[in-house]
């Protein structure tokens, strides 16, 4: 019942995380588009009232007229019905935090720790993961408040270098899957903390001064806008991390940290293109081309090596009974109709190896995950050996040759 309870909890929290994440990302993308699509006010009275820019749009069978005031309207009273975009961010982070706790911290021995990389206790792994999440924001916040913040390009390069170092260190501490998720949690924490500690407090300060009839300071708005721009570039890398656990070819790669940074860079460049596309000039197509080139390089790098380089040529012809024994000892405790390994209420991804027919039907999947990527068993929980992987590989080669 314990495994079933955590599966249900996982489902509910993950659903909440996805729903609130969509709301946050949608709002973020919309306001970035709106901010970059504004044109100068056409009426002199609007300029005198402090309007910075406006945008006409058509959607949902009607017309919209959006207006932006950098420091609020000069002649009009700020409406009491003021919408705040904050709970989407908070709800996404809170649900994501609980999801990390349910899956990667509660199951640290399965998903976070890989003894072949670094043998550590569950509590140590959790503390390190938390350290990266919150420590990442502390360093990021310091950089954004330093002299580097005056130059967006230099600040961006420094952040990218430090994030790359974090990716390298994480993949040399945790399992590939755990490293990717901690990396994404770190970026997500930076994003949500920027909203909580900088963007919203700055906006509240501006609203309070405006309603009190005092001069509004532009500094909080400038700082908030910089954080919002960073958030939009972090978004696609975080989304990739959220789905990466479905693709062992990424996190199980020998140079998984480079794969992570390559895909993250491509995601950021895609956002660069779309942000520029909403601006007054021509879209920065170079960013989109660079993103495709990087993704092509990543896909090429992840391509499986030839069978001959992965297998021991001395392994003789394999009988299916040998394969059955390995699957039963190393895989079936999880991949079964009724898993016996603690923490698994159902077979991962629905792959079950209870019968010879099921094993043969999933031969390609077994070969890819256990032989090529060595991603299974997760964290090598059941202690599969290189010799056993070679046997599975030879068996698969025999099946291919027989076709």
How confident is residue 348, by pLDDT bands cut at 50, 70 and 90? confident
Residue 223 covered by a domain? yes
pLDDT of residue 110: 87
- In sequence order, which residues have a C-beta less than 8 Å from that of residue 39 and are 6 or more positions away? 53, 54, 55, 280
Residue 60 covered by a domain? no
DSSP-based three-state secondary structure for 317: coil
Final residue of a domain: which of 302, 324, 342?
302
Does 236 share its domain with 353?
Answer: no
Averaged over 149-166, what is the pLDDT?
A: 96
Indicate if the pLDDT at residue 306 is higher than 80: no
Residue 12 covered by a domain? yes
Q: What is the model's pTM? A: 0.87
DSSP-based three-state secondary structure for 42: coil
How confident is residue 392, by pLDDT bands cut at 50, 70 and 90? very high
Does 279 share its domain with 389?
Answer: no
- Helical axes 176-194 vs 87-99, angle rounded to 10°: 160
Final residue of a domain: which of 278, 302, 326?
302
DSSP-based three-state secondary structure for 345: coil
Indicate if the pLDDT at residue 153 is higher than 60: yes
Q: What is the pLDDT of residues 109-143, one digit of tens each?
A: 889 999 889 999 999 999 999 999 999 999 999 99
Does 88 share its domain with 138?
Answer: yes
Final residue of a domain: which of 302, 334, 349?
302
Which of residues 117 and 4 earns the better pLDDT score?
117
Phi-psi region of 368 (alpha: psi -120 to 50; beta: other; left: phi over 0): alpha
Are 377 and 312 in contact by the 8 Å Cβ rule? The answer is no
d(CA 108, CA 87): 29
How confident is residue 310, by pLDDT bands cut at 50, 70 and 90? very low
pLDDT of residue 1: 66
Residue 80, both tokens: 């009491």
d(CA 198, CA 227): 8
**Over pLDDT 70: what percentage of the chain?**
97
Domain of 370 in residue numbering reads as 308-402
Maximum distance among all alpha carbons in the chain?
Answer: 87
What is the rounded (10 degree) CA torsion for 38, 42, 47, 52?
Answer: 0
* Overall residue count recorded for the chain in this entry: 403
Residue 42 covered by a domain? no
Does 253 share its domain with 289?
Answer: yes
What is the rounded (10 degree) CA torsion for 389, 390, 396, 401?
Answer: 170
Q: What is the pLDDT of residues 253-302, one digit of tens each?
A: 999 999 999 999 999 999 999 999 988 888 999 999 999 999 999 999 99
Taking alpha carbons only, the member of 76, 73, 68, 82 closest to residue 39 is 68
d(CA 96, CA 15): 10
Does 315 share its domain with 289?
Answer: no
Which range is least confidently modeled, 31-45, 229-243, 301-315, 359-373?
Answer: 301-315
pLDDT of residue 380: 84
Does 194 share its domain with 331?
Answer: no
Does 151 share its domain with 264?
Answer: yes
d(CA 338, CA 343): 12
Q: Using alpha carbons only, give the angle 35, 39, 40 rounded to the nearest 5 degrees.
A: 120
pLDDT of residue 401: 83
pLDDT of residue 38: 95
d(CA 288, CA 270): 6
pLDDT of residue 309: 40
Does 170 share its domain with 295?
Answer: yes
Residue 49 covered by a domain? no
Q: What is the pLDDT of residues 53-103, one digit of tens each?
A: 999 999 999 999 999 999 999 988 888 899 999 999 999 999 999 999 999
pLDDT of residue 345: 80
Residue 48 covered by a domain? no
Does 132 share its domain with 255?
Answer: yes
Does 214 share its domain with 334?
Answer: no
For the chain, the domain total comes to: 2
How confident is residue 314, by pLDDT bands cut at 50, 70 and 90? low
Question: Across the strands, what pairs with 56?
Answer: 65
Residue 67 covered by a domain? no
Within 13 Å of residue 347, how many CA atoms lie on the same side as its CB?
Answer: 14
Taking alpha carbons only, the member of 252, 248, 245, 259 closest to residue 301 is 259
What is the rounded (10 degree) CA torsion for 161, 163, 164, 168?
Answer: 140
Does 132 share its domain with 200?
Answer: yes
Q: Looking at 85-218, list the stretches that DSSP marks H as alpha helix, in order from N- to C-terminal side.
A: 87-99, 122-144, 152-171, 176-194, 200-211
pLDDT of residue 308: 44
């Amino acid at each position: 019942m314990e495994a079933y309870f955590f599966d249900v909890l996982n489902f509910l929290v993950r659903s909440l995380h996805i729903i609130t994440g969509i709301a946050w990302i949608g709002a973020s993308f919309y306001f970035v588009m709106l901010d970059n699509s504004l044109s100068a006010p056409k009426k002199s009275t609007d300029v005198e009232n402090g309007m910075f820019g406006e945008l006409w749009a058509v959607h949902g069978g009607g017309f919209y007229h959006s207006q932006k005031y950098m420091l609020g309207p000069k002649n009009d009273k700020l409406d009491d019905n003021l919408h705040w975009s904050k709970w989407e961010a908070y709800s996404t982070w809170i649900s994501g935090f609980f999801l990390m706790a349910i899956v990667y911290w509660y199951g640290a021995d399965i998903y976070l720790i890989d003894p072949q990389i670094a043998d550590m206790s569950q509590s140590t792994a959790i503390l390190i993961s938390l350290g990266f999440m919150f420590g990442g924001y502390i360093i990021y916040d310091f950089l954004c408040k330093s002299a580097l913040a005056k130059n967006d390009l230099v600040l961006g390069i420094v952040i990218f270098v430090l994030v790359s170092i974090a990716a390298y260190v994480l993949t040399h501490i945790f399992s590939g899957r755990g490293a990717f998720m901690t990396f994404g949690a770190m970026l997500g924490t930076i994003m949500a903390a920027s909203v909580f500690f900088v963007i919203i407090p700055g906006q509240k300060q501006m609203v309070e001064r405006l309603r009190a009839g005092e001069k509004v300071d532009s500094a909080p708005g400038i700082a908030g806008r910089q954080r919002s721009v960073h958030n939009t570039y972090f978004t696609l890398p975080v989304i990739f991390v959220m789905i990466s656990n479905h693709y062992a070819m990424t996190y199980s790669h020998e140079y998984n940290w480079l794969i992570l940074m390559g895909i993250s860079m491509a995601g950021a460049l895609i956002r660069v293109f779309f942000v520029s596309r909403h601006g007054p000039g021509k879209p920065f197509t170079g960013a989109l081309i660079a993103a495709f080139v990087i993704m092509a390089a990543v896909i090429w790098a992840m391509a499986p090596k030839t069978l001959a380089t992965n297998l021991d040529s001395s392994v003789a012809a394999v009988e299916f009974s040998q394969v059955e024994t390995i699957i039963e000892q190393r895989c079936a405790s999880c991949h079964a109709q009724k898993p016996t390994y603690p923490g698994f209420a159902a077979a991962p991804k629905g792959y079950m190896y209870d019968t010879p027919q099921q094993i043969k039907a999933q031969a390609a999947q077994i070969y890819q995950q256990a032989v090529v990527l060595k991603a299974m068993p997760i964290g090598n929980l059941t202690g599969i050996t290189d010799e056993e992987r070679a046997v599975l590989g030879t068996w698969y080669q025999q099946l291919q040759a027989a076709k």
